[in-house]
Amino acid sequence: MNSPHTLTAVFRGTSTISITPSPNSISVGSQVTLSGTITPTQPSPGIPAGTVMTLSYSIDAGTTWNIFITTQTSGGGAYSVTWYPPYPGTYQLKASWAGDQNYVDASSAAASLSVTGSRPPQVALLVSGPASASRGSTVTYDLLVTNPGTSLTTTLYIEVTGPGGYEYFDTLQVSIAGSASSSFYFVWQVPMSASSGNYQIIVGQIPPTSATITQTQISVT
């Protein structure tokens, strides 16, 4: 500096997040409700409804974490989703958010979920695509479907969620021979109006009565 300057410090607040599985013990293939709230530690400004919450699980006592779903808060900072855990075992679950201009990012304490039993053979999904894309571009995702049982025709859903409450939903009907794998694809047109940031791409089976689900992420610039 070669002359006097005035600097203003701007501090961001902190928040607390909770996550509770109900029930906290289920058999594999059953659903669990995951709910909680995000609460600012200072009363103003608040955290707006529609804030994106990211839910993750660990099945190795917290060594590695896998993002499995994103959701949005309602009034009062509450959120609630249903989930079908894909494997038996003891899960650690946590919720987190990326923060905003008023609050830093935060994660909840881990909650425990016990999943018992054995999983019958079921359709397996794997989605893959580019790691980044620009607004207005077209993104193609490859979807590998593995069917260990007899031949079937089923419907898959594709859900894209992202910053600012963005949500896209579509379906795809597929047919797969028994004991075989087939490749499919779907296209997402990134809106010109999309906000920059990370978007979650989730593919699951309809009806969502099994643990069949796959997810990836893309950064939009």
Verify that 85 and 152 share a domain, yes or no.
no
d(CA 210, CA 149): 14
pLDDT tens-digit series, residues 178-194: 899 999 999 999 999 99
Verify that 164 and 198 share a domain, yes or no.
yes
* pLDDT attached to residue 120: 67
Contact present, 97 and 198 (Cβ < 8 Å): no
Q: Is the pLDDT of residue 43 over 80?
A: no
In sequence order, what are the residues at sequence separation of 6 or more whose Cβ sits closer than 8 angstroms to the Cβ of residue 168?
158, 159, 160, 161, 188
Verify that 26 and 108 share a domain, yes or no.
yes
Name which of 196, 169, 191, 161 is nearest 53 in CA terms.
161
The residue among 89, 116, 143 that closes a domain is: 116
> Which among 64-68, 109-113, 178-182, 204-208 has the top mean pLDDT?
109-113
* pLDDT attached to residue 85: 86
In sequence order, what are the residues at sequence separation of 6 or more whose Cβ sits closer than 8 angstroms to the Cβ of residue 206?
154, 155, 156, 157, 171
The residue among 96, 116, 136 that closes a domain is: 116
> When comparing pLDDT for 1 and 100, which is higher?
100
Q: Is 77 left (phi over 0), alpha (psi -120 to 50) or beta?
A: left
Positive or negative: CA dihedral 186, 196, 95, 66? positive
Q: Is residue 54 part of a domain?
A: yes
pLDDT (average), residues 18-39:
94
Q: Is the pLDDT of residue 71 over 60?
A: yes
Q: Is residue 178 part of a domain?
A: yes
What global pTM score does this model have? 0.58
pLDDT tens-digit series, residues 94-122: 999 999 888 999 999 999 999 998 766 77
Verify that 107 and 170 share a domain, yes or no.
no
Verify that 100 and 165 share a domain, yes or no.
no
d(CA 54, CA 98): 9
Q: Which domain holds residue 42?
A: 15-116
pLDDT band at 210 (very low <50, low <70, confident <90, very high): low
Q: What are the two backbone dihedrals, phi and then psi, of residue 23, each rounded to the nearest 5 degrees?
A: -75, 175
Q: Is residue 4 part of a domain?
A: no
- β-pair partners for 174: 154
d(CA 211, CA 120): 10
Q: Is residue 8 part of a domain?
A: no
Buried b (16+ CB within 10 A) or exposed e, 143-169: bebebeeeeeebebbbbbbbeeebebe
Contact present, 80 and 31 (Cβ < 8 Å): no
Q: Is residue 188 part of a domain?
A: yes
* pLDDT attached to residue 10: 64
Q: Is residue 5 part of a domain?
A: no
The residue among 58, 91, 116 that closes a domain is: 116
Verify that 165 and 197 share a domain, yes or no.
yes
Considering the chain, what percentage of its residues have pLDDT values greater than 90? Answer: 59
